[in-house]
Structure 1
Amino acid sequence: MLASWTDKEKFQLLHSLKKHGSGNVKIVAKEIPTKSLHEVEYAISVYSSAARKSLKVDNKSRYRQAPIDKWIQFVKRHTLNVRRSRDLATVLKIFAFHEKPLLKQSDEINFEDLYLFLANLSLGNAPKQLNYKTHMFLMKTISELARKCKRETTDRELNFVANLNSRDNYRRTTFKEDDDLEVDERDNDAVEFLKHNLVMNPLKIGRSFLENRMKQGEQRLGTAKLKLRKLANAMKRRLV
Structure 2
Amino acid sequence: MVTASRPRVLVVEDDRTVLTVVGDYLRQAGYRVAGHTDGGSALAALRERIPDVLILDRMLPVLSGDELCREARAMAQHLPILMLTALDRVDDRIEGLEHGADDYLTKPFALRELVLRVDAMVRRASAAPAAAFGVGPFGVDPVRRRVSVDGREVPLTAREYELLVYLLQNPGRTVTRDEIMREVLGWSHGDPSTVTVHIRRLREKIEPEPHDPRHLLTVWGEGYRFTAKGVRR
Say yes or no: TM over 0.5.
no
Q: Which has the larger radius of gyration?
A: 1
Structure with more strand by fraction:
2
Query: Shorter-chain-normalised TM-score: which range?
Result: under 0.3
Provide TM-score, normalisation by structure 1. Answer: 0.23
Whose relative contact order is higher, 1 or 2, with alpha carbons under 8 Å and at least 6 apart? Answer: 1
Structure with more helix by fraction:
1
